[in-house]
Structure 1
Amino acid sequence: MRSRLVPGAAALVLAACALSACGSSSSGSGSGSGGDAKADAPAKLTVWIMRDSMSDSFLKRFTADYQAAHKGTTLDIQIQEWDGIGQKITSALASKDAPDVIEVGNTQVAQYAAGGGVQDLTSKVSDLQGADWIPGLADPGKIDGKQFGVPWYAANRVVIYNKDLFAKAGITTPPKTRAEWITDTTKLDTGGDDGIYLPGQTWYALAGFVWDEGGDLAAKGADGKWQGTLDTPQAKAGMDFYKQLQALGNGPKDADEAKPPQADVFAKGKSAQIISVPGGAAAILKANPAMKNKIGFFPIPGKTADKPGAVFTGGSDLVIPEASQHQAQAYQVVKALAGTKWQTDMAKEMSYVPNRTSLASVLAGNDGASTMAVGAANGHATPNSPNWAAVEANNPIKQYMTQVLTGADPDSAAKTASAAITKALNESL
């Protein structure tokens, strides 16, 4: 999740992929419900989980509980490293000795499914209560109407604010609409304080504003070709709002939130707000423990008070390789991890948003996580193309934002960026 939520790393707070070369030992193959005769047949199952995706204590509890409920079955949970993970996933899915369950980044499902090595789980969606899945987490797992990835957990951005600066400005209630947000941020941008620290290349925030306007970063045509859409009226309106908000602070126009780390900037106590995953609060307190009890959270405001602003939903899906030799048992592992019991445990342990909207209440008492869950109801994903990683590699969206913020012609900049996105998405199609 971290790579999908921290700009510069292809992905919300914020998500994950996983693999390594280990496989099951017994034979058998099949599709749909799996190649084994019975879902509860004893087996040694290999499960790949990304480092720091889950705590050791959670994985130990899950393993012990699952093995107790499935006599004779052993779970071999293997922690994978981020470096080089994409190639490991691709290689594993093409092998004959794949793991049984793999955690992958939600925005990477399309890339892996395109190779044909991921099992189609469409027939299992109802069994997994898929109608209740968070859309922004579930949609990337669906390609051409087929569900390949099962949503596991989510994270998205919220507004982290300085309670003292809000009180100083006479603001007693966080804003619920964009208009209120601009009004409040204008009040906060006085007396040497930043109304908001918003770097000029925070493109996930821009994406949310574009989605709120009814636009997108790219769209797929009837001919199957992709088209960058930053030059549409909706996307331009989103950029206009971003520009208005960004001007109410001193954030750099040519950098993202990692340069410098925005948590460090906020920790100095002079910036009233940042847009971040709630976990950013821990980095703030590490930089300045005196900020304890001064940090608050609210959902990114929407255009109207009845709906929070759109947010990029980062997170992880679970997939079953076609080459798994225990597909039926692997599905039972996925079902357990995606089910109510372990979704609840995970949410409380990790402060992630559960995969189902009806489980948001389990985060009550955790201000950051519960705020994140509110925003997740209006979650979205980046365009569901196997080539989206190629867009992020050079990221014309960031370049476009800096150009607009520094006085370039917005129409020309939008056309250039859209053309770059179009080229990247259609390069190998």
Structure 2
Amino acid sequence: MKKQLLLTSLSIVLALSLAACGNSNSNNNSEGATAATTGEKTKISYWTGDRHDAEFIKEKVAEFNETNTDGIEVELVVKGDDFDTALDLSFQTADSPDVIRVKENTIGTFYKKEYLAPIDEYLSDELKAKFPEMADLNTFDGKRYSLPNYGTTMRLIYNKDLFAKAGVTAPPTTLQELVDIAKKLTVAGKADGAYGFAQNFKNPASALGRSARVIAEMSGFGGFGYDFKTARFDFTGFKSIIEAFKQIKDDGSMLPGVESLDIDPLRAQFAEGKIGMYLSYSSEPGVYSTQFPAKIDWAAAPAPTIDGNAKGASGFLGGQWLALSAKSKHKDAAWKFMEYMYGDSILTAYQEKGFGISMVPSISAVAKVPEVNGIEGFLPNKYDGVWPVYPIVAPEGMKSDDAFFKYMLNGGDLGAVITDLNKRYNSALDDAITNDGLVAKPDPGFDPAALAGKFAK
């Protein structure tokens, strides 16, 4: 299975027998009764782009298939970094999923594309009280489209063994230290084929979304280039970050072949001790516990800032998890599966096994801190905070992540690249405001530093 998870996409069909999960919705009862009468199963599919929890989710889907008494059979499909593209293609055919894994940077887009169906009709007063309603994160235009499970923190993950070998006593707190330490780690690891730093640039948006983003946010800049004070795009804050990444690559301190490196192969290399540092999410402890058992001593630390001063907050991401497909022909059955997945036992186990930090108050109040190596470095701290949702636009030409990666590979005038990005993104913003009804209002009093620390215990 671990080898299968290295594939860009995999599909696991889990079809066993019948089971138990209830909902009093009359359509559900009709659907279940039909299945019970005819002996036929109602088949639905759940698509997710998450791989760090794939074994756990596979197990829970199997349990649902075995125990639900409504004749529902769930097919679990785990995609790679091509999840968004695959989903777009599926909605152009008759093969779209019934349940979709949504994230804070995708749910708004999927909502606008009309991929999602509201779930309000299924929500009891108890469920409404249990799960926080978050505007622009799981609720749009007064309707809810998902419920939260866990929140994700972002950290610098580092190889303590290689640090010790290189004589480095602490993780970097500035960009310059990141560059310098990457070089020292590469020198120390040369004989073993280890390098100081890596990023999964097979997908530049994924790579920079888990690295440049958090450095920018910690330094007080919007992680997607949007300035909430002015309500305009301004990528200037990324200049020194991208320059530092390019310097690491130019120094030979970055793992060779990052141009085609996906996140799971990167993790596999880190687990073997071939990478000194990288930046990623709080899913990593679970990864190194089950998916790629780490052969090294490792830890996590707050991401470095541009100059060592934290002027913002490290994005605490979450507020959504599963969503109902607008094209599903079996919405009632799909909701029964969703309701099962949102049960206390699964949400509690999700945190306690180290897959994520709960954002559901009733769960976080009782769930134990996971006994998973490395998780302590990911627990919410004084730097973590939830950023507002930035407007998603579709600029003409190359997107920011691709433009930055092109610069890292080929060099050129980064200032001109940023000027061009600002022009194209703001043009797309103006177009969306004029033609699509997008609302983007300046907030002159916006203080990134004030976002931090609200989740620390």
Give TM-score, length-normalised by structure 1.
Answer: 0.63
Structure 1 CA distance for aligned equivalents of residues 149 and 94 of structure 2 = 21
- How far off its partner does 1:158 sit? 3.4
Structure 2 CA distance for aligned equivalents of residues 369 and 245 of structure 1 = 27
Tell me if 1:197 matches 2:202.
no
Assess if the C-alpha contact under 8 Å between 2:147 and 2:319 holds in 1.
no
- Residue of structure 1 equivalent to 2:70: 73
Tell me if 1:120 matches 2:108.
no
Counterpart residue identity of residue 297, structure 1? A
Q: 1:343 to 1:92 in 2, by over 3 A?
A: farther
Q: Percent identity?
A: 16
- Residue of structure 2 equivalent to 1:359: 364
Structure 2 CA distance for aligned equivalents of residues 266 and 161 of structure 1 = 9
- Deviates further, 112-121 or 194-203: 194-203
Tell me if 1:214 matches 2:221.
yes
Aligned residues: 376
Secondary structure of the structure 2 residue equivalent to 1:127: helix
Deviation readout 1:272-303 (Å, 9 max, x if unpaired): 322245279659996xx8x6243333343568
Secondary structure of the structure 2 residue equivalent to 1:385: coil
Structure 1 CA distance for aligned equivalents of residues 417 and 249 of structure 2 = 18
Q: 1:285 to 1:324 in 2, by over 3 A?
A: closer
Secondary structure of the structure 2 residue equivalent to 1:320: strand
Give me the CA root mean square deviation: 5.4
Secondary structure of the structure 1 residue equivalent to 2:421: helix
Give TM-score, length-normalised by structure 2.
Answer: 0.59
- How far off its partner does 1:366 sit? 0.9
Matches within 5 A, 1:322-333: 322=326, 331=335, 333=337
Structure 2 CA distance for aligned equivalents of residues 164 and 221 of structure 1 = 41
Structure 1 CA distance for aligned equivalents of residues 92 and 11 of structure 2 = 11
Deviation readout 1:176-203 (Å, 9 max, x if unpaired): x834x85587457438137831458641
Structure 1 CA distance for aligned equivalents of residues 290 and 351 of structure 2 = 22
Counterpart residue identity of residue 57, structure 1? E
Secondary structure of the structure 2 residue equivalent to 1:408: coil
Structure 1 CA distance for aligned equivalents of residues 238 and 338 of structure 2 = 37
- How far off its partner does 1:63 sit? 4.6
Structure 2 CA distance for aligned equivalents of residues 342 and 299 of structure 1 = 29
- Residue of structure 2 equivalent to 1:294: 297
Q: 1:60 to 1:128 in 2, by over 3 A?
A: farther
Tell me if 1:48 matches 2:45.
yes
- How far off its partner does 1:59 sit? 1.7
- Choose from 389, 392, 399 the match for 1:385: 392
- How far off its partner does 1:58 sit? 2.0
- How far off its partner does 1:319 sit? 1.8
Secondary structure of the structure 2 residue equivalent to 1:160: strand
Structure 1 CA distance for aligned equivalents of residues 95 and 426 of structure 2 = 28
Structure 2 CA distance for aligned equivalents of residues 140 and 16 of structure 1 = 28
Assess if the C-alpha contact under 8 Å between 1:157 and 1:275 holds in 2.
yes
- Choose from 155, 160, 171 the match for 1:158: 155
Structure 2 CA distance for aligned equivalents of residues 400 and 116 of structure 1 = 30
Q: 1:118 to 1:163 in 2, by over 3 A?
A: closer
- How far off its partner does 1:77 sit? 0.9
Tell me if 1:85 matches 2:87.
yes
Assess if the C-alpha contact under 8 Å between 2:354 and 2:372 holds in 1.
no
Gaps of 5+ in 1: 1-5, 10-14, 20-33
Q: Which has the higher contact order (CA 8 A, sep 6+)?
A: 1
Assess if the C-alpha contact under 8 Å between 1:186 and 1:248 holds in 2.
no
Counterpart residue identity of residue 188, structure 2? D
Deviation readout 1:238-286 (Å, 9 max, x if unpaired): 5466567778861279955717954566567565322245279659996
- How far off its partner does 1:78 sit? 1.8
Tell me if 1:418 matches 2:416.
no
Tell me if 1:147 matches 2:144.
yes
